Structure 1
């Protein structure tokens, strides 16, 4: 069972770099439908009568288990990465381009990608009240492993594993899914001095791939190998285990191809409310405060495969000829082999089909203050609040950004704290249909002693970015006497 933890977690870490949404741009009043995914009320503030997104992509990775020494994201294209080896004096602390490990007692990984496909929103006035309607398509990937008991640190440091080691409970979840969302926003309380806006996203979730590992109990015993075994590794045995592994994927391990099909479905909901202080005759506001609850819901994978390992025989994990130097062709082959070791039957661990994965539920509080014309200061606080069991989890984030936004051009700088400990700096730039940004820009361009996190945002939009309130006013029909 140690091997399945290792394979899964390392696969999560280095599968790629994916979403912390770019809050700098999404606080821009011209972000339109793009901002609906983080605040359902924000599209209401767009001064444009319509807005469309052709494609946007957001990528975020943060972990404190592994890093690459003295590198940048762009520099990885031409780098030759080697793995740390204390026996050969290869370490990330003394040379560059080394995949090395922090070796803390606990390890964490938060990874997500967010691709917003063709999306559209429009505003309409019905009985003198403004309404905003939108539809968007979205492809999301998210992985969360928090407080993993880092047994791997012993092997990383080339020290002997303890004779007896008990894992603390742990869980890890990854999900890849599509989303079709309907956005609706309108003003409420028309008699109030402030403008109140309510917004909602109703989302159809399309489950593609998912995996969930839950370790309630696991005890590992190690002993010295015999002369006939690999003397560089101690024998490791799993006892007193209570673990479950569930997965489903579109990857065909025989043809080595990804074959798209829907494996799960669900419903999601985002809700938000905002209060705005503004002159009703002006588009710009003095301040805005919004509360949003995001990603309430789950995806049901009815044909998901479940394996449970509990109260079985002692499993010989390391130095076992059954596992050593064997290439497993699929997760199922590995799990069946593990079941044979635990129960003498390849299918004994297989349970009934189906499992659910909760969406990465969070609360987003936003405050925006106009400093002067076109200049705004924004503060966002996002806190994960998992609602359903086996939920993927997003990163906790506090973000402050200062921006200048006009019809055709917008730009800003930001500072953020991820997981209340990692400080990042970035910003965004918008010119016409193109938006580029990052909430953690330095690792993209500059070498970092410990490269372990990154973020990038890109969007291509169509909207009347050469339009403004004065031009729209001039186009209106005049009822005055000639």
Structure 2
């Protein structure tokens, strides 16, 4: 050791912290087994049948103490004093890590769970709370013989290397179509390769350029210091032979995570087999929004029999003492030194991760990720810095491209780029920033090879949405309900059997494939029958004739369809024989003439009788009596016979003229019903008469 250990550590530990791995790549749904690093739940319902990682490596180093331009850094004449830009503060930090993912693989166990086995080697260094403002000037002040005071206080630096062998189990916890939740747990066996730390407690250094007077009266600088330095390490390194043995160190770690997916278009990713069983597509991302939450690196490695050196540096030494320090033995001669052997526990860099992934459209995504350290700076503590990343990406099965934009605690904005092409993944979270920023405060890079075995979409040759292995007709499109086969047309009527209500009997499309029937049996088919449930004649389009007035005479025969009548009168109401009609009949009857003393009708009576027939026809349902009367001349018996014969003569004429015999009755009254006196000629003429009266 060329300089005092304290000063050496302070000069080294002047930088700031972040230790993320595979930046950008782990947001990819096709990162496979690698994704267990950030969230063990990721491998459930993944896009892989299996995924085998051959090797992957990620390296990261960053700080908030020094910045260097890329062109100066690669220049052959780079000079730290002139080309480096120091960003000094009372709280400078640093961190670096190397993360190697060795042979690892994942596979699915049934439809809802997955298992991963992974190997990993990691090394990690961090430093926190160093007073960079004071430390940068310490050596210069001593060399230039200038007074200087360093009030360092507490500071921490630690380094750890270990290997992991992990087993991850992930399981679907909820699948309610639109809402999906999965969880995962990783158990890790840890094997320590080495651990060391340096802690300063209440450290101060006061350099006085003329602090001591030599015997020759010249002066020399003095270095007055206070506080404690603690140096702990695994005691498996032989300083003399430079041989390293793997220490007796092991431990266990746990990672725990959950992922929620919102799947508003869930039905678009469901395939229904011919048996009706629904299967969700494994080869497709189904979410519009995905939220992940995980807690990683819970645990520690226990180093048995480690050495803990304690230097109490409350002393004043000269500049010559300072310049002659070569190793820790020289420090032990200058300061109070104690050493203890005890077990040393190196905690893992526990961190909380939140991830939100938005499927903008099709293959384009926008990811927001944050990593928050769950450990505070302290003795032998590894901690990540808080980081916020926004990563747009294009993602497909065989190719993805990422453009992460990240804001790191202590280190500002970084822009990177990465890609995945089949088995290769490569990238950097700071690639663009490295070539564009004037000051590089950190850089990272990752690369790896794997063997991905993706889920393919079930083959569907006919494009009917039913996989060939479940399709009864894999080369002909058909509906699920017909086992993936097209519907047939058994009866050849152009109506498919699934819509044909009479699949084995030809019929027109408009009757759902059934032949037209004759429901009412009126010989008119139902498609032409305007009254298919009521029998009716052809001339009335299959409907029964109506009887609007309900007189049992159908309208077509009813001469008075809106007025109730009789069948005999063609549906019209019967005329009523009024007193005027009766009088008219009798006026006609008085003019009927007979041959004197006989029942023979005179010819001049014919017109009168014809008119009477006309009147009787107007009342077809009325019955009449024909009454014969005589005067009193002659014997009563003779007059009776004469009256009867004359009534019969008129009745016969009327029957001959078309009047129904059933309507007529002939009666002779002789001289029994005179209407005038028979004493005079005029009266006797009135009594000789024929009357036609309405039968009561």
TM-aligned CA deviation for residue 164 of structure 1: 4.7
**Aligned position for 1:56:** 56
**Aligned position for 1:289:** 291
TM-aligned CA deviation for residue 115 of structure 1: 0.8
1:403 has 2:403 as partner: no
**Aligned position for 1:87:** none
Q: 1:261 aligns to what SS in structure 2?
A: coil
Counterpart CA distance in 2 for 1:475 and 1:261 is 58
1:185-234 residue CA offsets vs partner (Å, 9 max, x unmatched): 111134574111111111111111111122221222221246879x9994
Change (3 A) 1:63 1:250: farther
Q: 1:469 aligns with which of 452, 457, 466?
A: 457
Counterpart CA distance in 2 for 1:266 and 1:232 is 55
**Aligned position for 2:135:** 152
Answer with 1 or 2: which has the greater Rg: 2
Relative to its length, the structure with more strand (as a share) is 1
Counterpart CA distance in 2 for 1:250 and 1:69 is 39
- 1:157-176 correspondence runs (5 A): 158=141, 164-176=149-161
Counterpart CA distance in 1 for 2:140 and 2:437 is 22
1:478 has 2:469 as partner: yes
Counterpart CA distance in 1 for 2:219 and 2:251 is 49
Q: 1:189 aligns to what SS in structure 2?
A: strand
TM-aligned CA deviation for residue 82 of structure 1: 2.8
2:349, 2:381 within 8 Å by CA — same for their partners in 1? yes
Aligned Cα root-mean-square deviation (Å): 3.2
**Aligned position for 1:43:** 43
**Aligned position for 2:27:** 27
Counterpart CA distance in 1 for 2:409 and 2:54 is 31
TM-aligned CA deviation for residue 405 of structure 1: 1.1
**Aligned position for 2:78:** 81
**Aligned position for 2:380:** 390
Counterpart CA distance in 1 for 2:192 and 2:112 is 35
**Between Structure 1 and Structure 2, how many residues are aligned?**
444
TM-aligned CA deviation for residue 3 of structure 1: 2.9
TM-score by length of 1: 0.83
**Aligned position for 1:433:** 423
2:23, 2:428 within 8 Å by CA — same for their partners in 1? no
2:255, 2:294 within 8 Å by CA — same for their partners in 1? yes
**Aligned position for 1:412:** 402
**Aligned position for 2:333:** 340
Q: 2:341 aligns to what SS in structure 1?
A: coil
1:221 has 2:209 as partner: no
Counterpart CA distance in 2 for 1:18 and 1:408 is 31
**Aligned position for 2:185:** 200
TM-aligned CA deviation for residue 455 of structure 1: 1.0
TM-aligned CA deviation for residue 11 of structure 1: 4.8
Change (3 A) 1:399 1:249: farther
1:272-328 residue CA offsets vs partner (Å, 9 max, x unmatched): 111111226243121110111111111111122101234x65152x6243x525543
Counterpart CA distance in 1 for 2:459 and 2:468 is 12
1:209, 1:248 within 8 Å by CA — same for their partners in 2? yes
Counterpart CA distance in 1 for 2:220 and 2:70 is 30
**Structure 1 stretches lacking a partner, 5+ long:** 85-90, 93-98, 329-333
Q: 2:404 aligns to what SS in structure 1?
A: strand
1:254 has 2:240 as partner: yes
Counterpart CA distance in 2 for 1:385 and 1:356 is 17
Counterpart CA distance in 1 for 2:459 and 2:76 is 52
TM-aligned CA deviation for residue 380 of structure 1: 0.2
Counterpart CA distance in 2 for 1:453 and 1:354 is 34
Counterpart CA distance in 2 for 1:113 and 1:472 is 46
Q: 2:385 aligns to what SS in structure 1?
A: coil
1:144, 1:392 within 8 Å by CA — same for their partners in 2? yes
Counterpart CA distance in 1 for 2:191 and 2:288 is 40
**Aligned position for 1:453:** 442
**Structure 2 stretches lacking a partner, 5+ long:** 271-280, 474-696
TM-aligned CA deviation for residue 59 of structure 1: 1.3
**Aligned position for 2:166:** 181
Counterpart CA distance in 2 for 1:193 and 1:458 is 36
Counterpart CA distance in 2 for 1:164 and 1:428 is 47
TM-aligned CA deviation for residue 268 of structure 1: 0.9
Counterpart CA distance in 2 for 1:246 and 1:472 is 65
TM-aligned CA deviation for residue 251 of structure 1: 5.2
Greater alpha carbon shift after TM alignment, 133-142 vs 148-157: 148-157
Counterpart CA distance in 2 for 1:421 and 1:101 is 13
Counterpart CA distance in 1 for 2:442 and 2:354 is 24
Q: 1:393 aligns to what SS in structure 2?
A: coil
Q: 1:135 aligns with which of 117, 128, 131?
A: 117
Q: 2:93 aligns to what SS in structure 1?
A: strand
TM-aligned CA deviation for residue 458 of structure 1: 0.7
Change (3 A) 1:435 1:164: closer
1:343-387 residue CA offsets vs partner (Å, 9 max, x unmatched): 3xxxx4101322112111110000001011111111001110117
Greater alpha carbon shift after TM alignment, 366-375 vs 244-253: 244-253
TM-aligned CA deviation for residue 108 of structure 1: 1.1
TM-aligned CA deviation for residue 421 of structure 1: 5.0
**Aligned position for 1:331:** none
1:208, 1:250 within 8 Å by CA — same for their partners in 2? no
**Aligned position for 1:237:** 224
Change (3 A) 1:71 1:217: same
Query: Larger relative contact order (C-alpha < 8 A, sep ≥ 6)?
Result: 1
2:225, 2:316 within 8 Å by CA — same for their partners in 1? yes
Counterpart CA distance in 2 for 1:121 and 1:37 is 13
